[in-house]
């Protein structure tokens, strides 16, 4: 993979028409945050608010993510936040694996530019696209997976927590795992 610059990457995302999802959107949502972050957060794709503003993880789910990070003393601006796909699917439907695979090179470029030590995979789409389509979020959440020195932690998407608040207990456990891993990595330096 040839790693481009942030400018080139954002231009490439803006101009992409590789799958039908670009039709009818208001904004592409590339992602944002600290370009040198230790933690990269990956969700599914833009929802209505994100599509409107062109920013990842805003609206109610985004606010919850900000609170979840703050609870483990992470300022949202210190992580890099993105999604598997950069265009909002019609009616917020789940993107197909084909659409995910079409868009994944952009996420890989973001990963190569940020070079995080930890990836938080939020929700089933991020889990399936980045680890394996065979996995389910209920069985995989809260279990670290190490790939080429990168620590990946699947957990629920904040939108799922809003739909089913009972899941917040497990999500809190996952955030504590993230906090512990950050301390562990910090102590290795
Ligand atoms: S979802 Fe990704 S691959 Fe599809 S058009 Fe948008 S940017 Fe391109």
Residues contacting 80, CB < 8 A, separation 6+: 31, 32, 33, 34, 35, 37, 39, 40, 41, 110, 114, 116
Place of tokens 């065979």: 134
State whether the beta carbon of 104 lies less than 6 angstroms from ligand 1: no
Give phi and psi for 43, each to the nearest 5: -105, -160
The residues spanned by each domain of the chain are 23-188
Local confidence pLDDT in tens for the 189 residues of the chain: 777 899 999 999 999 999 999 998 999 999 999 999 999 999 999 999 999 999 999 999 999 999 999 999 999 999 999 999 999 999 999 999 999 999 999 999 999 999 999 999 999 999 999 999 999 999 999 999 999 999 999 999 999 999 999 999 999 999 999 999 999 998 765
Helix (H, G, I), strand (E, B) or coil at 68: helix
23-188 has which fold?
Answer: Uracil-DNA Glycosylase, subunit E (3.40.470)
Mapping DSSP to helix (H, G, I), strand (E, B) and coil, where does residue 174 land? helix
Q: Is the CB of residue 100 below 6 angstroms from any atom belonging to ligand 1?
A: no
Interatomic CA distance for residues 185 and 180, integer angstroms: 9
Predicted model pTM: 0.96
Tell me which of 13, 20, 54, 85 to substitute to probe ligand 1's pocket, judged by most ligand atoms within 8 Å of the beta carbon: 85
């Amino acid at each position: 993979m040839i790693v481009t610059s942030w400018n080139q990457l954002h231009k490439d995302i803006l101009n992409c028409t590789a799958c039908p999802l670009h039709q009818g959107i208001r904004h592409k949502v590339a992602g944002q945050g600290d370009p040198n972050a230790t933690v990269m957060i990956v969700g599914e794709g833009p929802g209505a608010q994100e599509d409107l503003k062109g920013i990842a993880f805003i609206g109610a789910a985004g606010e919850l993510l900000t609170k979840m990070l703050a609870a483990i003393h992470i300022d949202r601006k210190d992580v890099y936040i993105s999604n598997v796909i950069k265009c909002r699917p019609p009616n917020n439907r789940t993107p197909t694996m084909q659409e995910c695979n079409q868009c994944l090179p952009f996420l890989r470029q973001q990963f190569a530019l940020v070079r995080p030590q930890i990836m938080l995979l939020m929700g089933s789409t991020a889990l399936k696209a980045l680890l394996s389509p065979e996995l389910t979020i209920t069985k995989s959440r809260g279990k670290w997976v190490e790939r080429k020195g990168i620590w990946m932690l699947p957990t629920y998407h904040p939108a799922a927590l809003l739909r089913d608040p009972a899941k917040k207990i497990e999500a809190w456990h996952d955030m504590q795992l993230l906090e512990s891993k950050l301390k562990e990595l910090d102590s290795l330096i």
